[in-house]
Structure 1
Amino acid sequence: MPIIVNLDVVLAQRKMRLNTLAELVDITPQNLSVLKTGKAKAIRFDTLEKICEVLECQPGDILAFAKEPATAGTE
């Protein structure tokens, strides 16, 4: 997937645990873990807003786009 989730990096920079963030954002630690590991298929803007507010960051600090390399034979 070309969307990279850097939540673990931002959490480490803020010296905050996932469970603490989950409590402050009012989301289950399990759902936040799915996001952190990059397995989430979507995120609600209000959830992203709360995460950014608590972590004092921008959405681009948490999410990044990395173009996938072209596979052979698709030229």
Structure 2
Amino acid sequence: MSPAENDDELTGIHCRLDELLAERGMTLTELSTRVGVSIVNLSVLKNDRARAIRYSTLRAICDALACEVGDLLVLA
């Protein structure tokens, strides 16, 4: 399998950003402002298209949503 084919594989990790935002009555725009990450990048994460995330970004999202990493990222 070529590296390009590998990139297209699902990671088996699901981001629950949509659910957490809904539970807290928060919009993606509001989260973007709070954590200093663009809406586009948050959308990539929210739609399970992210291939990587910085620990600092993960921490900022968890702080803003008052959640743990395991609440945000789950095995699919």
What's the TM-score, normalizing by structure 2? 0.84
Written as runs of structure 1 = structure 2, the 5 A alignment for 1:1-75 is: 1=10, 2-66=12-76
**AA partner of residue 53 (structure 1):** D
Distance 1:60 1:19 in 2: 23
Runs of 4+ in 1 over 2 A off after TM superposition: none
Q: Answer with 1 or 2: which has the greater Rg.
A: 1
RMSD: 0.6
Deviations 1:16-58 (A, max 9, x none): 0001000100011000000000000010000000000010000
What's the TM-score, normalizing by structure 1? 0.85
Q: Which consecutive residues of structure 1, in runs of 5 or more, have no partner in the other structure?
A: 67-75
Q: Which consecutive residues of structure 2, in runs of 5 or more, have no partner in the other structure?
A: 1-9
**AA partner of residue 13 (structure 1):** E
- Aligned-pair identity in percent equals 45
Greater helix content: 2
